[in-house]
Amino acid sequence: MSPENIAQNELCECVNMTYSSEPGRLRTRAGIGEALATFPARVTGLCWYKDQLLATTIDGKLYHVWLNGETEAPLIGDLTCANWRPYFCEYGGNLFIASHGVLQKYDGTTLTTISGAPNADVVYARAGRLFCSYHGNDAIRGSAVGDPLSWTVPVSPTDADPVEVQIGYKAVGSIVAVVPGLTDVIVFKEHGIFRLIGEYPDWSIKEVSRDEAIANHHCTVAVSGYVYYLDNRKGLRLLQGTQGYEEITPAEALPKVNRWIRARMDHDFGGLWHLPARNIFVVNPNDSSGKEIMPCFYEFGQGEMPALIWKFPDVVHAIVEPDRDHLYIAVGNGVYDMSGVSAYDPSGEDGALELVESSFTTKLFTGFNAYLVKRMTIRAGAFVPDIMTDEQLRVYINDVLYHGISFFSDESDYVYANMDAVYGNDNGLYVEFKDLADFAKHNLLRQNTVQVRFENKGTPFELTRFALEVVPVGVTA
Amino acid sequence: MPSKTINDASVVIRQRVNDKDKINYTDEEIVADVATACRYLSQVLIARRSPEMIVTVDIVDYAAVPEAFHSFVGQWPVWREGPVFRTSTGGHAVTVRYWSTRGQGLSSLTDTIPFDEIYFDAIVTAACMLLLNRDEFDTTKEQGILQTLESLAPGRGAAS
């Protein structure tokens, strides 16, 4: 959307901000700090299993990432296939890993390849069985009920034996992704969508659409009954119910930001992650060079939710959310803790830590008249108040720096103009931190259009209130 | 004696028009408005027959009229013909007194305001009025202040 055509309460751009637990307040996103572990190859997947953080790399390795400060991550084993972003599913207390090769099992200590199991891209559990799909055929295969190690369909099967079902046999390409929705399993083929309705043996298959082409096997999430997916050409899409009984249909999701997603869509690298404890899902449309992801805050509505941009020092490959207080993210070759313990990103030279850089921009106000900006007040709080930095929160009107905010002020006077620290202590005396404060600015500024931009390289902050007094002047038409 | 620079006026003006950050009005605009205020004030003082505006100069026939020349003080055997003075005394110099305007050629913040400090407030007020008017503020207050300052200036009042 062009910046003049959005609403007053919308932003035309918002980078590295997020919503605080106080609903609706914008704050700087958490930093990722120093890596918990770094690997010789880029990370392809993250999983939280039995209080362990697991990471996979593009060279087909599964590692255990320590959370105790030990940065040497032990190797657990080799995946059956490299160069693939694996899919994880917990079933019966074990973790099952699909990596485009034969299905594997991890019990918390050892990784084993299940003999007789099929190749798997996507693995999910449903109705007492483990199911998997594989790009290259039309079948979804299910294990025996309760036995994820038994996959061979006998000559005369019972209802509890392994099963296999063809979805859209020979039509619209082979299966790319599968996601269990509420009552159905949604099956994405190369350019079509099917529903697998009911449970075995009362399965029925219904075609949903032949116009949709999901990008890859990591591009769909089920969010409270809705299914979101990334289409190769159309960007973010939504499967939702229609007025007809038990019908679902694909529709455009987030029309205001979809252009941003489409412009970056990449067939191989795009991804969607659902972070239910935070009420967001994250869109990563990026190719292997993009460093931006888009968190979508669905608690504010399914179709018109706020979507922001998080920008990282390197490419994001996976996110995992063990609970509300923890969040781990794979950036480049490293795994990082984004739970909020750090205000810094390794964005400097050679990965030096720097405060997270954030910015956002309001609607562009434009019309026949000019605008006279008279005053601005901002109520904001420092999130990590004891950071002493010379960087200010800078508020621009168009390109004019209107307001610079410091969250701490060094009130101490230099004694006899002596600027040297006493006994090597460089903490200022009487340093005053502002946890939450009003910052008012009163200066006249006449502009033909008005667009306010916040930029911050300093103390992470939370914005409570922002008011600007503007009067239209000089009607020229 | 003139002692204030345009920069001194600019500091006060930016406070009064609420642009301490120097983001709304450029220095050039303020210099131009202070210059306008100086020329305006000189016309006002000449109209009030304020003696400080009188300048004395020796001229001969066909001497060039100074740039700041406004009008003769009293009657002399001299007259003006376009860009030159004429006299009936030919090459013999005659001392002429004339009303001289001020404020020509002001172009920089470091220039000195060509008036005594007593007129500083009138100049600042007139410049503020111009600046506020360009942004469509109501300048009635400034006009009132300026009129009062003018009526208190030396010379004949309009009534006398």
Helix (H, G, I), strand (E, B) or coil at B67: coil
Instruction: Tell me whether A437 touches chain B (CB under 8 Å).
Output: no
Query: Quick check: is B156 in a domain?
Result: no
Q: Is the pLDDT of residue A147 over 80?
A: yes
B contacts of A400 (beta carbons < 8 Å): 23
Q: What's domain A13-358's architecture? A: 7 Propeller (2.130)
Same domain? B142 vs B67: no
Nearest CB neighbour to B18, from listed A401, A443, A473: A443
pLDDT at A433: 59
Same domain? B44 vs B107: yes
pLDDT at B1: 80
Q: What is the enclosing helix (H) or strand (E) of A143?
A: none
Same domain? B42 vs B76: no
Nearest CB neighbour to A443, from listed B21, B135, B136: B21
pLDDT digit string, tens, across residues A27-74: 999 999 999 999 999 999 999 999 999 999 999 999 999 999 999 999
Q: Is the pLDDT of residue A417 over 70?
A: no
Nearest CB neighbour to B20, from listed A400, A401, A443: A443
Give the residue on A whose Cα is nearest the Cα of B132.
A444
A201 preceded by cis ω (within 30°)? yes
Instruction: Tell me whether A404 touches chain B (CB under 8 Å).
Output: no
Across the range A115-137, mean pLDDT stands at 94
Helix (H, G, I), strand (E, B) or coil at B38: helix
Instruction: Tell me whether A473 touches chain B (CB under 8 Å).
Output: yes
Same domain? B95 vs B106: no
Same domain? B109 vs B144: yes
Using pLDDT thresholds of 50, 70 and 90, give the confidence band for residue A387: confident
Which residue, A9, A4, A26, is CA-closest to A17?
A26
- Its domain, for residue B13, covers 6-50+102-151
Share of chain A above pLDDT 90, in %: 68
A contacts of B19 (beta carbons < 8 Å): 443-445
Which residues lie closer than 8 Å to A67 by C-beta, 6 or more apart?
Answer: A36, A53, A337
- Using the beta-carbon criterion (under 8 Å), do A474 and B136 form an inter-chain contact? yes
Query: Quick check: is B86 in a domain?
Result: yes
Which residues lie closer than 8 Å to A199 by C-beta, 6 or more apart?
Answer: A126, A127
- Using the beta-carbon criterion (under 8 Å), do A402 and B23 form an inter-chain contact? yes
Q: Judging by beta carbons within 10 Å of its beta carbon (0-12, 13-18, 19+), is residue A465 exposed, middle or buried?
A: exposed
What backbone phi and psi angles, to 5 degrees, belong to A300? -90, 5
Query: Quick check: is B45 in a domain?
Result: yes
pLDDT at A457: 93
Q: How far apart are CA A329 and CA A339, in angstroms?
A: 9
ipTM of the complex as predicted: 0.79
Contact A87, A94 (CB under 8 A): no
A contacts of B23 (beta carbons < 8 Å): 400-402, 443, 445
Q: How far is CA B126 from the centre of its chain?
A: 11
pLDDT at A290: 77
Q: Which two tokens stand for residue A214?
A: 């999901």
Query: Quick check: is B158 in a domain?
Result: no
What backbone phi and psi angles, to 5 degrees, belong to B62? 70, 20
pLDDT at B77: 82
pLDDT digit string, tens, across residues A273-288: 999 999 999 999 887 6
Across the range A297-322, mean pLDDT stands at 89
Which residues lie closer than 8 Å to B123 by C-beta, 6 or more apart?
Answer: B9, B34, B37, B38, B41, B113, B115
Helix (H, G, I), strand (E, B) or coil at B100: strand
Q: CATH 2.130.10.10 residue ranges in chain A?
A: 13-358
What single letter denotes the amino acid at residue B12? V
A266-286: buried (b, 16+ CB within 10 Å) or exposed (e) per residue? beebbbbbbbeebbbbbbbbb
Q: Is the pLDDT of residue A412 over 70?
A: no
pLDDT at A388: 77
- Interface-testing mutation among B15, B29, B135, with chain A (most A C-beta atoms within 10 A): B135
Q: Which two tokens stand for residue B56?
A: 């004395």
Q: Is the pLDDT of residue A410 over 70?
A: no
Using pLDDT thresholds of 50, 70 and 90, give the confidence band for residue A409: low
Query: Quick check: is B133 in a domain?
Result: yes
Q: Tokens 């990590």 belong to which residue?
A: A384
For all residues of chain A together, what is the average pLDDT? 89
Chain B residues within 8 Å of chain A (Cβ atoms): 17-21, 23-24, 135-136
Same domain? B85 vs B15: no
- Using the beta-carbon criterion (under 8 Å), do B136 and A473 form an inter-chain contact? yes
Q: Which residue has the higher pLDDT, A184 or A24?
A: A184
Q: Is the pLDDT of residue A149 over 80?
A: yes
∠ CA A18-A24-A26 to the nearest 5 degrees? 35
Same domain? B120 vs B82: no
Give the residue on B whose Cα is nearest the Cα of A474.
B136
- Using the beta-carbon criterion (under 8 Å), do A372 and B136 form an inter-chain contact? yes
- Angstrom CA distances, A433 to A408, A436, A438, stand at 4, 9, 13
Same domain? B113 vs B39: yes
Q: What is the enclosing helix (H) or strand (E) of B126?
A: helix B120-134
Give the residue on B whose Cα is nearest the Cα of A398.
B23
pLDDT at B160: 44
pLDDT digit string, tens, across residues A222-281: 998 889 999 988 999 999 877 667 788 898 888 889 999 998 888 778 899 999 999 999
Signed CA dihedral, B21, B23, B28, B29: sign only: negative
pLDDT at B68: 93
pLDDT at A411: 55
Count of other CB atoms within 10 angstroms of residue A261: 22
A contacts of B139 (beta carbons < 8 Å): none
Across the range A183-190, mean pLDDT stands at 92
pLDDT at A62: 97
Contact A267, A285 (CB under 8 A): no
Share of chain A above pLDDT 70, in %: 92
B contacts of A444 (beta carbons < 8 Å): 17-19, 24, 135
Q: What is the pLDDT along chain B (160 residues), one digit of tens a residue?
A: 889 999 999 999 999 999 999 999 999 999 999 999 999 999 999 999 999 999 999 999 999 999 999 999 987 788 999 999 999 888 899 999 999 999 999 999 999 999 999 999 999 999 999 999 999 899 999 999 999 999 988 887 654 4
pLDDT at A435: 67
Considering only CA atoms, give the Rg of chain B. Answer: 18
B contacts of A374 (beta carbons < 8 Å): 18
Q: What is the enclosing helix (H) or strand (E) of A114?
A: none
